[in-house]
Amino acid sequence: MPVIHNPILRGFNPDPSILRVGDDYYIATSTFEFHPAVRLHHSRDLVTWTTIGHALDDGFALRGIPDSGGVWAPSLTHADGRFWLAYSIVRTMDGDDKDIDNYLVTADAITGPWSEPVHLGSRGFDFSFFHDTDGTHWVVGVQWDQRPEHPSFSGLVVEQYLPAERRTSGEAVRIYREDGLVEGPNLYRIGDWYHLLIAAGGTGWNHGITLARSRSLLGPYERDPREAVLTTRDAPGHPLQKAGHGELVQAPDGRWWLAHLASRPTLHLGERYSTLGRETCLQRVVFDDEGWLRPADGGHHASVEVAVAGEWEGTDAAPGPRGWTDDFDTDVLDSRRWSTLRAALPVEVADLDTRPGWLRLRGGHSAASVFDQSMILTRVEEHRASFEVLLDAAPRSPREAAGPIAWYDRSGWIWLQVTHDEDDGRHLRVVRRDGGVTTRSAPVAVPSGPLRLRLELDGPDLRCAWTDPGEGEWMPLPGVQPAWTLSDDHGPRLRFTGLFFGLRADDLDGRGWTVDVDRVDVRFVPDAG
């Protein structure tokens, strides 16, 4: 019998919205400040998943968006012969204030083209669509209250959408509220019941999924007597932590499945750090004799391995060592692998034509910028991984630098850079940002010409090395870097993304300095067991 090995989408792929159309399954995941936005994945069997692209790509930009802002919690549905995609853009998130815009786009095919967006208002976030059996369409989401003396999460509200007028009704009804955090709502009509699936407890270690139900769309809703349908908050040693924020899908055989997020932490001095971010998992669920949703295997914990019954062709082996190489011999960067920050890089910044077989990256703003950084990034999928680049860089000052980077956000990164200064000439340094503090290693002299540079992740630790373009011995840079700081769980701020490897170039004088990259090799090795 084939087996699903969780996570099914490894690395930073949070807030899954799952959908079946015919024999095809689709999942949309959050992308926050990264571009392209709303990652789309496809499967025919629930076991093997492929990233097929993004819904928000050409012309879409998020310049000025804060870290962990941007596109939150997409909702992917299908009605009236079209795909519907709702999403939130969080523009500010300072204290009690959140400036949020919610949108709807539609398409005849999952690959687009997607329509011009319809504004759904700014009431809150985590907007999802519910299409009732009577042909009406509804938006359910979190209502935010900015008043400091009131709970910020003021409840879950539902509002009718009027497709002929391309607008919501303007009249929202609160259908559910708890004293704790409830968000990520999704409505389903199953038999005579409306089921409200809820993300509860926040996105951290206390995360979980609960359920409420009603005979009427507008309530009142009765809460599940269990504390949680699914959670690992009471199992700190479980390999899938932070389990929560889920959606349901029904297979052709009538069985129900729950897509949800979870994190696989690594340990540093006994503390847990989810450097890979929040990943997507899949569980089989059933409705018990009283009509409440439960994991098919019993209990309330997520399962790492889930059996799939029925006819199925393919391999279901657990993920093993894997990787990929980009030698930049294509016309455009593969956006299924590469992301950028907040906006696409113009062709004159990421140039694949001037030096065939090389990527010429023109330097941009500093790592503190929310506008025009020059960096390409790929998700880190395992706690043991490596990222090697062959680059040709001739910096002329300390304001020109390039090299591989381990990136979380503007306040958390570790960068192995080739740079230059008046005392040391061309050299390597490891530069690290942790909160408001930047540290730099001692310089390491390197010869002129192309270099091979490597980042190697080993659980909570990161090591850097270099060699010449041939088959020379790798020479490590002194010191072990704290990769565990590149996680949601480090520091006082709310953080919602995950670890990327990437390649960046800075030109802080804005003189058009460039670096050429011939090849990138990425390798992932899953943890044993």
Q: Which residues belong to the active site?
A: 15, 183
Q: DSSP character for 9?
A: B
DSSP per-residue letters across 363-406: -BS-TT-SS---EEEEE--SSEEEEEEEEE----STTEEEEEEE
Backbone angles phi, psi at 443, to 5 degrees: -70, 150
Handedness of CA 173, 105, 499, 403 (dihedral sign): negative
- The letter for the amino acid at 91 is R
Residue 208 CB contacts under 8 Å (≥ 6 apart), including other chains: 199, 200, 201, 227, 228, 229, 230, 231, 233, 243, 244
How many whole angstroms separate alpha carbon 265 and alpha carbon 278? 10
Give the burial class of 73: count Cβ atoms within 10 A of its Cβ; 0-12 exposed, 13-18 middle, 19 or more buried: buried
Residue that is written with structure tokens 């990138």 in the block: 520
Q: What string of DSSP letters covers 159-186?
A: EEEETTTTEE-S--EEEE--SS-EEEEE
**Nearest Cα to Cα of residue 15 among 209, 153, 159, 154:** 209
Query: What are the tokens at 167?
Result: 């607008």
Q: For strands 425-434 and 437-440, give the pairing.
A: antiparallel
Q: Cis bond leading into 7, ω under 30°?
A: yes
Helix (H, G, I), strand (E, B) or coil at 441: coil
Query: With contact defined as beta carbons under 8 Å apart, do 521 and 322 qualify?
Result: no
Residues 457/483, Cβ–Cβ less than 8 Å = yes
DSSP 481-505: EEGGGSSTTSSSS------EEEEEE
Backbone angles phi, psi at 484, to 5 degrees: -60, -20
CA angle 160, 161, 162 (to 5 degrees): 120
Residues 6+ apart with CB under 8 A from 78: 19, 21, 84
Q: Which residue has the tokens 């990520």?
A: 184
148: which 2 tokens? Answer: 């400091």
CA angle 49–54–59, rounded 5-degree value:
170
Q: Which residues contact 421 (CB under 8 A, 6 or more apart)?
A: 397, 398, 427, 443
